[in-house]
Amino acid sequence: ETDEINVCVTGAAGQIGYAFLPLLLTGQCFGDKKINLRLLDVPQAESILQGVELELQDGAYPLLKSIKTGSDETTLFKDVDVAVFIGGFPRKPGMERKDLLTINGNIFKKQGQALDTVAKKNCKSLVVANPANTNCLILAETAKSIPKQNFSALTRLDHNRAISQIALKAGCSITDVKNVIIWGNHSTTQYPDVNHGTVLGKRIRQFINDEAYLNNAFIERVQKRGGEVLAARKNSSVMSAANAVKDHLHDWYFGTKQGEFVSMAVYSDGSYGVPNGLIFSYPVTCSNFNYKIVQGLHIDEFSKEKIRITTEELLSEKADAFSA
Ligand code: NAX
With a 6 A CB cut-off, is 88 part of the ligand 1 pocket? Answer: yes
Domains of the chain, by residue range, sit at 4-153, 156-323
Does residue 186 carry a catalytic annotation?
Answer: yes
What's the Cα-to-Cα distance from 103 to each of 98, 106, 107, 138, rounded to whole Å? 9, 5, 7, 12
With a 6 A CB cut-off, is 90 part of the ligand 1 pocket? Answer: yes
Please report the pLDDT score of residue 94 as a whole number: 82
Q: Which of 310, 1, 319, 291 is nearest to 148 (CA)?
A: 291
Question: Cα(149)–Cα(139) distance, rounded to whole angstroms?
Answer: 12
Exposed, middle or buried: residue 144 (CB in 10 Å: 0-12, 13-18, 19+)?
exposed
| SS3 of residue 98 by DSSP | helix
Angle CA(42)–CA(48)–CA(52) in degrees, nearest 5?
A: 115
Say which residues have a Cβ less than 8 Å from residue 131's Cβ, sequence separation at least 6. Answer: 97, 100, 101, 104, 185, 186, 187, 317
With a 6 A CB cut-off, is 10 part of the ligand 1 pocket? Answer: yes
For ligand 1, the distance from its centroid to the CA atom of residue 262, given in whole angstroms, is: 23
What's the Cα-to-Cα distance from 21 to each of 64, 150, 158, 246, 255, rounded to whole Å? 10, 22, 21, 9, 21
CATH class of 156-323: alpha beta
Please report the pLDDT score of residue 98 as a whole number: 86
- Give start and end residues of each alpha helix (H) in 131-203: 132-142, 156-170
Q: Is the confidence metric ipTM above 0.90 for this complex?
A: yes
Please report the pLDDT score of residue 324 as a whole number: 61
Please report the pLDDT score of residue 99 as a whole number: 87
Question: Cα(22)–Cα(58) distance, rounded to whole angstroms?
Answer: 12
Q: How many CB atoms lie within 10 A of CB 109?
A: 17
With a 6 A CB cut-off, is 41 part of the ligand 1 pocket? Answer: yes
Say which CATH superfamily domain 4-153 falls into.
NAD(P)-binding Rossmann-like Domain (3.40.50.720)
Length of the chain: 324
pLDDT, tens digit (0-9, with 9 covering 90-100), for 46-61: 999 999 999 999 999 9
Please report the pLDDT score of residue 95 as a whole number: 83
pLDDT, tens digit (0-9, with 9 covering 90-100), for 87-143: 999 888 888 888 889 999 999 999 999 999 999 999 999 999 999 999 999 999 999
Angle CA(24)–CA(28)–CA(32) in degrees, nearest 5?
A: 90
List, as one string, the DSSP characters of 220-274: HHHHTHHHHHHHHHSS---HHHHHHHHHHHHHHHH-PPTT--EEEEEE--SGGGP
Mean pLDDT of 244-252: 98
Mean pLDDT of 202-214: 98
Question: Cα(290)–Cα(296) distance, rounded to whole angstroms?
Answer: 19
pLDDT, tens digit (0-9, with 9 covering 90-100), for 286-323: 999 999 999 999 999 999 999 999 999 999 999 999 88
pLDDT, tens digit (0-9, with 9 covering 90-100), for 169-186: 999 999 999 999 999 999
- Using the atom order of ligand 1, give the atom closest to the CA of residue 16: 26
| SS3 of residue 38 by DSSP | strand
| SS3 of residue 15 by DSSP | helix
Angle CA(267)–CA(194)–CA(151) in degrees, nearest 5?
A: 15
Question: Cα(166)–Cα(183) distance, rounded to whole angstroms?
Answer: 17
For ligand 1, the distance from its centroid to the CA atom of residue 11, given in whole angstroms, is: 6
Q: Which of 92, 81, 59 is nearest to 7 (CA)?
A: 81
